[in-house]
Amino acid sequence: MTGYIASHMVALLHEQGHKVSGVDNFSNSTIESLERLETLCETDLVFEEVDVCNEERLKFALTIATKVNGPIDAVMHFAGLKAVGESSKIPLHYYQTNIAGTLNLLGCMRDFGIKQFVFSSSATVYGVPETTPLHEGCRTQSTNPYGRSKLVIEELLEDIAAADPEMRITRLRYFNPVGAHPSGLIGELPNGIPNNLMPYVFKVATGELPQVNVFGNDYETKDGTGVRDYIHVCDLVSGHLSAVKHLAKNKGLFTFNLGTGKGYSVLEMIQRTEAITGIKIPYAISERRPGDVGEVYADASLAKHVLNWEAEYNLDDMIYHQWQWARKADQ
Ligand code: UD1
């Protein structure tokens, strides 16, 4: 509930008048993340410190949530590990947290009679893209334990949906979430040196790191650097809200890309960040990162047709909001 995406989800649900309860084990957030979220929502939130793998504690949290907020309509599941490189070093930990944690959550949901489930999947399930833009029907594959954990969960959700005609499950495949809440009160707080591009770029902008290492400039892309589909975190969570509204009316299993459909290169991201912050971002071209691919961007038309959702923020908004947050987090 206090991680990067989930905290923005809670803020939106709260703003729209929904009753929200949540758990987190603070593995990638802090008690201050919860406090900032409560400041933004101007209320105390129904929250329990729980590891998603702990069945007893999860059931306790669901019991409290039911007592305080009434019967639970839907569960949105954001709890997972997401660092690709790390996943190859400690695969068992990834499988335990991501796969066993999800199974535990689904088992608790069954025991509490909760039938609606929104799962945070990733464009990583497309592996090496067979085509761009990527549509939901493209073949899936996994190239590392993190990706395998997402793919395995996607597949087991098919079995669970097939076995129970009352289940309503949506798998959301995120492209590259960036940005922060426009209030500047919440945003991403990566532990240590960031793996992902934009958190790294902002650490260079705030002077914490000397330069951005651009992983390869010899891809078959517009300027040779990697192209990705960056999506504002607030658009991403509004996609979840649309998905859960759709589930309230539709049984079965659904899958949607959440992206903008536009691709930007690493150099374009650096240049736009320089333009918006007014700060020179030094960079150096380095080797390709193992496992990276040249170009990944979404065909986002299915979510538009079925969910009536599309991304609204543009690249400059994403960078501006993340910059507001990075400056605050740096203080
Ligand atoms: C990565 C993961 C992906 C995961 C996603 C969200 C890999 C191979 N993929 O996606 O599975 O779902 O994060 O957590 O790790 N880049 C640089 N310098 C940097 C960092 C990145 O040049 O210091 C480049 C990359 O080569 C890439 C682009 O920036 O072209 C975006 O990288 P990143 O933010 O790590 O996202 P993905 O690799 O798309």
* 146: annotated active-site residue: yes
> Tokens 């539709």 belong to which residue?
250
* pTM strictly above 0.85: yes
- Residue to mutate (ligand 1; options 87, 98, 124, 220; most atoms within 8 A of CB): 124
Residue 102 belongs to domain with CATH number: 3.40.50.720
For 295, the token pair is: 């170009």
Tens-place pLDDT, residues 79-94: 999 999 999 999 999 9
- The active-site residue out of 95, 146, 200, 264 is 146
Grade residue 191 by pLDDT with cuts at 50, 70 and 90: confident
Q: What three-state secondary structure class fits 48? A: strand
Q: What does the pLDDT average to over 2-15?
A: 98
Cα 266 to middle of ligand 1, angstroms? 10
- Is residue 46's pLDDT more than 70? yes
Sequence-distant (≥ 6) Cβ neighbours of residue 134 within 8 angstroms = 123, 126, 257, 296, 297, 298, 299
Name residues whose C-beta falls within 8 Å of residue 217's C-beta, 6 or more positions apart in sequence.
223, 224, 225, 267, 285
Give me the domain span that covers residue 247.
4-329
Q: What is the mean pLDDT of the chain?
A: 97
Domain count, the chain: 1
pLDDT surpassing 70 at residue 330: no
